[in-house]
Structure 1
Amino acid sequence: MATVTSNSMVGGRQRPDWAGLVTISDNKPTSNEELADSRNPRQVRGIVVPVTTAGRPSPPSPWSGYHTGKGPGTDKGHLMALELGGPDIAENIAPQSSRWQQSGGWRIIEVNVLRVAMRWMGIDGVYDPSDDIPAPATACYFAVSPGTGADAMTGEPLWYDINIAKVSIDRTPRGWTWDSRTHQIARWAQIAPNEVRFDSRDAWSDL
């Protein structure tokens, strides 16, 4: 894989210019650990674009090549969710425990990231991906880093680091920049399948 960038969202729509690309890599820049045999991505990062996923097609199979479904008990889990503006491509997908992915700890993470992103953007609803989505003054930078380990039977990552940070949107080619007034507002979480290291569903409620 090396590094893959994507400008697509759900339904094949393009991400707005101000949000820039989603970057998917098999190397975590802040780590010296080598890529695991699982072939799961090491990091997915980009600016959150809150969008509806109505009418979404069935996702592609995980890039790792592991099967999902009732047998292994896993789903095709988007590392950067479609509702966060993530791409519907194999490189953005890893096997994830079905219930945990649909309504458990992983879903709690996604719901909280979406809520914080909408607050920082100053909006009270998600966009249709076909909309001309206006540039906000600030937005949410999101990064998820699966650990190097994976379940030998299912290929599911054994843990994940989640990071969010508030960034300022500008007119640079990247579309956004760190701002000394905003990038100090950040949160980190580490989660593992079938758990979430949050006290409640009100995680990050102070943001």
Structure 2
Amino acid sequence: MTPRLRSGLLALLTTTTITLGAPAAAYGAPPAAPSIAGHSLPPYQTWIADVTAVTSAAQRYLADRLPDSSVKPAIVLDIDNTALETTYRPGLVSPATAPVLALARQAAADGAAVFFVTARPQVLGWQTAVNLRGAGYPVADAYLRPWFNTQPDAGFKTATRKQIEDLGYRIVANIGNNPSDLSGGFAERTFKLPDYDGQLI
């Protein structure tokens, strides 16, 4: 990469990060409920309320579980419709899901590393990293599906959590909105956000 191209990319990333740092309110009024395959999802406010019910329980658990100096604690978050409001606010970038962001920041403040595990392909790696950091997340690392990996989502995500624990971390909480985010072990507790019978993937 030439110095000129490198400086141009850095300038773009810096500008994008500043833009992404805006709160969700900067994206406009709460959107109408999207329609997926002919089915309407609940309104945005209902989804946020349902997410908050789960993250509140997770926050209470983490308040008791952390800090813990006897282990290297970590939490794992899914990205789409968990960490980011992907379906309700679609586009090149999405704002943080506010209750999940608060949970991640609490965990980080109490000494936990925050990892992201997603079935997004690696080609979206830079965009995803910029979006997460710009939205305000502490990011220890983000694991995307490797090139040509055709494992089912659950198998890939389970293997990735094992990989994180093999680095010496104890995953104290795993949060996602689909069963494939949570199955397979390698987490002390799991917290499932709404997927509305598989409509919100």
TM-score, normalised to structure 2, is 0.28
Which structure's residues are more often strand, by fraction?
Answer: 1
TM-score, normalised to structure 1, is 0.28
Pair member with larger Rg? 2
Which structure's residues are more often helix, by fraction?
Answer: 2
